[in-house]
């Protein structure tokens, strides 16, 4: 038999509010239903062979105990037993193979659905959820779900079928002995219920605590320079030890409760076997049954107790998977906060005329970050954005790129309402260069062509030349084929920034956003970056956020923000002549005091 490859675009199974049911749906519903049915039928045939073995053993015992028994009769039952064993082994292999393939494809579907849905979520989701926490859900939680699929589902289905089939056979063979065997089952169920009530919340808390540990580890590894420079290693160790201790305490409670199920179940199974022998002995003595039937029932009891014990052993696995699956489904059920309108249209670029009218926005309800903002940008204008930290500069860019939807007001681009445009068509026309230059672990060439589908190597090299990046790229060990480490750590800050500028050129956007793109570099590199940005901005409507005001003084207009509002708007010379807020900001940055020796008043600088 061969395993089928999972569908390229797996179909989302029907949604159920129950986490366990949803996990199972990924494995046995939709296109997998025929395979699940065939695997279950193969398992039933295998169990039929298994259940036949105690019956054959009992019949053989009766032949040996009977005065009329013959070697021929014993041989016949032996052959039947061998055939039954062969049927069990053959069909068990077929069933296990099919369930293994279903488990692999189910995990593929869950991981694909999780990661694909992450790509649809809005910026606000990532703003609220730390990277470490999300990484944990993609790794740790997916791992426990994988264990559930690989070791749990097939065994649970097999155990459940075995219990049902054994009970049916036992009732058909001897009702009193069946009742004796079932006396312990309620106690098994009660113990399983108690363990579940204790362990289930503990496993849910365990997954949360493991996520916090992973998040802390990721954050401290990323911030290792700060930790080393500030000599905060003891603090990191203590914090980590505290988090891991919480995991230890919760994990001990969860696993102790679940592991207690196994010895309890084994004890009850032994008691069940003894009870069958006692009741069976009295029945044989009084002529109500034969020794062979009692021996068969001890085999049936073992076959009944084995799946019950198996289910008990799988309890911690299942509870852990349900906790992890619940955290995965929290993300899958998350809805993007920014959605295309049902009648959204493609953005049609007509020059880059931007109008912002009475716009208010807040990341959280009731907490305004931007208030009453109105301005207009003509096609091809370069707009500098200045203001103290927390004034709302980056937030303004976030709503212009529609990473977030505004609370009220209107934003028009070339006369088209931003909220009525498809996000994809809009962002194809907007290039963004951030303060932190993010590069993927890939070649320089692939990082450049990443910006646009169908971009050629010639496009990338031409862009690199315009961004002043070509010379240093060609000096790298393998030129454009040099493999960059994570985030481009084997390049300098300035080199990374020039590559991101070149990447934006490859995208060939019509509108540009530059967010502190020249910070943290030396003067010579800054000049190269400025030249690259000038080439990038040529003929395009652009916005440049800058704390170093010298980098935006030549902009057509400078938008000055404070406390979430645009307090001044105009060319550099005009704003300086007004001697208002921009003048104070500019003079405080360059001299620390205004003309005449008077200190610049910073009291009016408002952070949102």
Model confidence pLDDT, tens digit, residues 384-399: 999 888 888 888 988 8
What pLDDT is stored for residue 1 in this prediction? Answer: 43
What pLDDT is stored for residue 603 in this prediction? Answer: 44
Q: Quick one: average pLDDT of 508-531?
A: 73
83-87, 201-205, 372-376, 387-391: which has the minimum mean pLDDT? Answer: 201-205
Q: Is the pLDDT of residue 592 over 60?
A: no
26-35, 221-230, 311-320, 376-385: which has the minimum mean pLDDT? Answer: 221-230
Give CA 553 to chain center in angstroms: 44
Q: What is the largest CA-CA distance in the chain?
A: 127
What pLDDT is stored for residue 379 in this prediction? Answer: 92
What pLDDT is stored for residue 2 in this prediction? Answer: 41
Class at the top of the CATH hierarchy for domain 19-332: mainly alpha
What pLDDT is stored for residue 596 in this prediction? Answer: 40
Return phi, psi of residue 373, to 5°.
-95, 125
| Contacts of 338-343 spanning 24+ positions with Cβ under 8 A | 338/122, 338/123, 338/124, 338/402, 338/403, 338/404, 338/405, 338/423, 340/422, 340/423, 341/419, 341/420, 343/420
Q: Is the pLDDT of residue 258 over 80?
A: no
More confident residue, 219 or 178: 178
What pLDDT is stored for residue 523 in this prediction? Answer: 64
Q: Quick one: average pLDDT of 343-350?
A: 91
Tell me the range of 150-154, 388-392, 527-531 where mean pLDDT is highest.
388-392
Distance CA 171, CA 166 (A): 9
Residue 3's pLDDT band (cuts 50, 70, 90):
very low
Q: Is the pLDDT of residue 167 over 80?
A: yes
What pLDDT is stored for residue 519 in this prediction? Answer: 56
Q: Which residues fall within 8 angstroms of residue 36, CB to CB, at 6 or more apart?
A: 27, 28, 102
Q: Quick one: average pLDDT of 359-388?
A: 89
Q: Is the pLDDT of residue 549 over 80?
A: yes
What pLDDT is stored for residue 487 in this prediction? Answer: 66
Segments making up each domain of the chain, as ranges: 19-332, 354-593
What pLDDT is stored for residue 141 in this prediction? Answer: 80
Residue 135's pLDDT band (cuts 50, 70, 90):
confident
More confident residue, 310 or 349: 349
What pLDDT is stored for residue 381 in this prediction? Answer: 92
User: How many Cα neighbours within 13 Å face the side chain of 286?
Assistant: 7
What pLDDT is stored for residue 268 in this prediction? Answer: 75
Residue 41's pLDDT band (cuts 50, 70, 90):
very high
Residue 316's pLDDT band (cuts 50, 70, 90):
low
User: What digits encode the pLDDT tens for the residues 105-131?
Assistant: 888 888 888 888 888 888 888 877 777
What pLDDT is stored for residue 105 in this prediction? Answer: 87
What pLDDT is stored for residue 12 in this prediction? Answer: 43
> Which residues are bridge partners to 421 per DSSP?
345
More confident residue, 243 or 373: 373
Residue 575's pLDDT band (cuts 50, 70, 90):
very high
Distance CA 199, CA 250 (A): 10
Strands (E), 397-517: 408-413, 416-417, 430-433, 511-515
> Which residues are bridge partners to 360 per DSSP?
408
Q: Quick one: average pLDDT of 70-92?
A: 87
Distance CA 442, CA 486 (A): 8
Look over the chain and give the mean of its residue pLDDT values, rounded to a whole number.
80
> Which SS3 state, helix, strand or coil, does residue 381 take?
coil
Percentage of the chain exceeding pLDDT 90:
13
User: What digits encode the pLDDT tens for the residues 379-434?
Assistant: 999 999 998 888 888 889 888 888 899 999 999 999 999 999 998 898 888 888 87
Pairing mode of beta strands 557-562, 382-386: parallel
Distance CA 144, CA 471 (A): 49
> What is 275-289 written as a DSSP string?
HHHHHHHHHHHTTSS
Judge whether 19-332 and 354-593 match in fold: no
Percentage of the chain exceeding pLDDT 70:
83
- Report the predicted TM-score, pTM, of the whole model to 2 decimal places: 0.66
What pLDDT is stored for residue 113 in this prediction? Answer: 86
- The CATH number of 354-593 is which of 3.40.190.10, 3.40.50.2300, 3.40.50.300, 1.10.3720.10? 3.40.50.300
Q: Is the pLDDT of residue 281 over 60?
A: yes
Q: Is the pLDDT of residue 468 over 70?
A: yes
Using the 8-state DSSP alphabet, how is residue 420 labeled? G
What pLDDT is stored for residue 597 in this prediction? Answer: 42
What pLDDT is stored for residue 192 in this prediction? Answer: 67
**Residue 402 in tokens:** 């529609």
> What is 401-453 written as a DSSP string?
TTSS--SEEEEEETTEEGGGB-HHHHHHTEEEE-SS----SSBHHHHHHTTST
Q: Is the pLDDT of residue 513 over 70?
A: yes
Residue 8's pLDDT band (cuts 50, 70, 90):
very low
């Amino acid at each position: 038999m061969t395993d089928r490859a999972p569908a390229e675009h797996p179909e989302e199974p029907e949604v159920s509010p129950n986490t366990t049911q949803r996990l199972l749906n990924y494995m046995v519903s939709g296109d997998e239903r025929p395979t699940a049915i065939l695997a279950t039928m193969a398992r039933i045939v295998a169990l039929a062979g298994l259940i036949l073995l105690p019956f054959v053993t009992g019949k053989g015992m009766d032949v040996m105990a009977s005065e009329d028994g013959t070697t021929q009769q014993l041989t016949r039952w032996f052959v039947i037993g061998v055939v039954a064993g062969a049927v069990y082994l053959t069909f068990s292999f077929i069933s296990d193979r099919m369930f293994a393939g279903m488990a692999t494809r189910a995990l593929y579907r869950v991981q694909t659905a999780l990661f694909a849905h992450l790509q649809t979520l809005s910026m606000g989701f990532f703003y609220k959820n730390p990277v470490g926490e999300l990484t944990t859900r993609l790794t740790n939680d997916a791992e426990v779900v994988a264990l559930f699929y690989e070791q749990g589902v097939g065994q649970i289905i097999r155990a459940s079928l075995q219990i049902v089939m054994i009970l049916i056979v036992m009732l058909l063979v001897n009702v009193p002995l069946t009742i004796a065997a079932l006396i312990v089952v309620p106690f098994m169920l009660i113990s399983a219920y108690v363990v579940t009530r204790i362990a289930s919340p503990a496993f849910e808390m365990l997954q949360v605590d493991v996520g916090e540990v992973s998040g802390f580890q990721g954050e401290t590894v990323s911030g290792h320079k700060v930790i080393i420079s500030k000599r905060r290693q003891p603090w990191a160790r203590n914090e980590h030890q505290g988090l891991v201790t919480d995991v230890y305490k919760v994990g001990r409670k969860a696993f102790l409760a679940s592991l207690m199920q196994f010895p309890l179940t084994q004890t009850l199974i032994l008691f069940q076997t003894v009870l069958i022998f006692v009741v069976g002995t009295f029945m044989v003595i009084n002529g109500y049954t034969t020794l062979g039937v009692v021996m068969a029932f001890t085999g049936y009891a073992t076959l009944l107790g084995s799946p019950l014990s198996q289910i008990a052993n799988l309890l911690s696995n299942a509870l852990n998977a349900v906790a992890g699956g619940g955290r995965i489904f929290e993300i899958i059920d998350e809805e993007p906060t920014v959605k295309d309108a049902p009648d959204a249209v493609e953005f049609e670029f007509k020059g880059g005329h931007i109008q912002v009218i009475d716009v208010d926005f807040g990341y959280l309800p009731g907490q305004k970050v931007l208030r009453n903002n109105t301005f207009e940008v003509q096609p091809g204008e370069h707009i500098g954005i200045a203001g103290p930290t927390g004034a709302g500069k980056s937030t303004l860019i976030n709503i212009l790129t529609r990473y977030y939807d505004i609370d009220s007001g209107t934003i028009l681009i070339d006369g088209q309402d931003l909220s009525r445009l498809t996000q994809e068509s809009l962002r194809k026309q907007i290039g963004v260069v951030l303060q932190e230059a993010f590069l993927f672990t890939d070649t320089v060439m692939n990082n450049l062509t990443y910006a646009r589908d169908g971009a050629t190597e010639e496009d990338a090299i031409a862009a690199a030349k315009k961004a002043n990046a070509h010379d240093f790229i060609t000096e790298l060990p393998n030129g454009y084929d040099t493999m960059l480490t994570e985030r481009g750590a084997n390049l300098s800050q300035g080199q990374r920034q020039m590559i991101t500028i070149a990447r934006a050129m490859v995208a060939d956007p019509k509108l540009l956003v530059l967010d502190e793109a020249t910070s943290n570099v030396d003067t010579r590199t800054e000049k190269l970056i400025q030249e690259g940005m000038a080439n990038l901005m040529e003929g395009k409507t652009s916005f440049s956020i800058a704390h170093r005001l010298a980098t935006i003084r030549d902009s057509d207009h400078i938008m000055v923000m404070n406390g979430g509002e645009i307090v001044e708007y105009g060319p550099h010379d005009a704003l300086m002549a007004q001697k208002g807020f921009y003048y104070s900001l500019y003079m405080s940055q360059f001299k620390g005091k205004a003309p005449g020796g008077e200190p610049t008043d910073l009291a009016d600088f408002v952070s949102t």
